Each structure stands twice: as C-alpha cells, then as structure tokens.
Amino acid sequence: MLDKYGPSMLRIALLYVPSRAVAEDVVQETWLAVLTGLERFEGRSTFKTWLFRILANKAKTRGRRESRSVPFSALAADGDEGGTAVDLDRFLGPESRHPGDWATPPRAVPEERLLAAEARLRIARAIAALPPNQRAVITLRDVEGLSAAEACNVLGLSETNQRVLLHRARAKVRAAFEQYLEEKS
C-alpha cells in the first residue's frame, strides 16, 4: 500500500503545504488516520478515493497552519544558509583515495532526453503556477489518473466545477507549452 500510494500522496500533499518535509509529515498523519479509522470505511467510494480525501483534508489543514508560521531558515540573511549547492553524497568521502572528487561523475545525456526533460519541467512549472484549485484538479486528473467522480470526492467539488477548473487548467498549461515550443523553433 505504501509503495502503491505513497508517491501520489506526496504529490497531492505538496499542493497544499509549503515543503516536502511537511508533505511527508502529512502523508504519515494520513496513514495513521487511515489505520485508526479503517473500521469506519463504509465502501461508498473506492479505498483510493477515501484515502485521498483524508489526505486532502489533512493537507489543507496543515497548509493553513503552516502559512501562519515563518520557518527559521527564512530568518537567515543571504549567504548565511550554510547549505551546499550540491548534495555531499555525490562526492567521495575523506576515507577515499581522492576525497572531494565525484563519486560518480555526471554523464552525458542525449539531446532528446534533455529536451524531453526540459519539456516536462516546463509543464510542471506551468502546473505549479496555476491557482490552487486548478492545480489540484489537474494534478488529480491528469497526473494521478483519478476519474472525475474521484477527483470531485477528494476535493469536495461539484462535477461542473471540477470540469470548469480542469478545462481552465489544461488551457493554461497548453498555452504555456505552446509558448515553449515557439521558443524552440
């Protein structure tokens, strides 16, 4: 179950909360709620829809709470973050013959793969730039593959509202992608 739904749950939680760490917490809280409330599952919807509805409710609540607090890292002055630009795990450690060298050097990527990755990135950015309701609907329908009824149930929307939000979201993403294609020409 965790392997099957975990990545999707994380993507949905990220629609409502400001960071991956908070989204991971929301996913864990959701699994706990599912385990403790499993006997209340009545089967009026699919398990997946029930699970995602619990997740969406928890993520919305947590997102509102998180928006009222300022993360400690935001108080650091520019240059005081102390982080690294590249993950340290990508380099050889001090015990190796060549400490600080690449553990595995970056490899060349064929141009087609770079362009495909760039296109996916542009689409992901276009989705991220959508208003929250449109972003949630397009993520559930087109990224996660939920049916219209399931998306309505998870988000608490009417069928008409879901259809309008999905249409607007797809139109905006399509326009952003067409602009990207024109830049490439």
Q: SS3 string of the chain?
A: CHHHHHHHHHHHHCCCCCCHHHHHHHHHHHHHHHHHHHHHCCCCCCHHHHHHHHHHHHHHHHHHHHHCCCCHHHHCCCCCCCCCCCCHHHECCCCCCCCCCECCCCCCCCHHHHHHHHHHHHHHHHHHCCCHHHHHHHHHHHHCCCCHHHHHHHHCCCHHHHHHHHHHHHHHHHHHHHHHHHHHC
Stretch among 24-33, 88-97, 165-174, 175-184 having the lowest mean pLDDT? 88-97
105 occurs within a structural domain: no
Stretch among 5-14, 22-31, 174-183 having the lowest mean pLDDT? 174-183
% of the chain at pLDDT higher than 90: 42
pLDDT of residue 100: 73
Region of residue 65 (phi > 0: left; psi between -120 and 50: alpha; otherwise: beta): alpha
**Which range among 2-6, 41-45, 62-66, 131-135 has the greatest average pLDDT?**
131-135
Strand-pairing partners, residue 75, are: none
Does 22 score more than 80 pLDDT? yes
pLDDT of residue 136: 93
Judge if pTM exceeds 0.75.
no
pLDDT of residue 163: 93
pLDDT of residue 81: 47
Name which residue leads in pLDDT, 100 or 47. Answer: 47
Number of structural domains the chain divides into? 2
Does 137 score more than 90 pLDDT? yes
167 occurs within a structural domain: yes
Both 57 and 115 in one domain: the answer is no
**Which of the four pLDDT bands, split at 50, 70 and 90, describes residue 128?**
very high
CATH number of the structural domain spanning residue 121? 1.10.10.10
Tens digit of each residue's pLDDT (9 = 90 or more) over 56-96: 999 999 988 887 765 554 544 444 445 554 566 767 877 87
99 occurs within a structural domain: no
127 occurs within a structural domain: yes
Tens digit of each residue's pLDDT (9 = 90 or more) over 110-124: 667 667 888 889 999
Both 114 and 180 in one domain: the answer is yes
Give the residue numbers spanning the domain of 59. 2-69
CATH number of the structural domain spanning residue 32? 1.10.1740.10
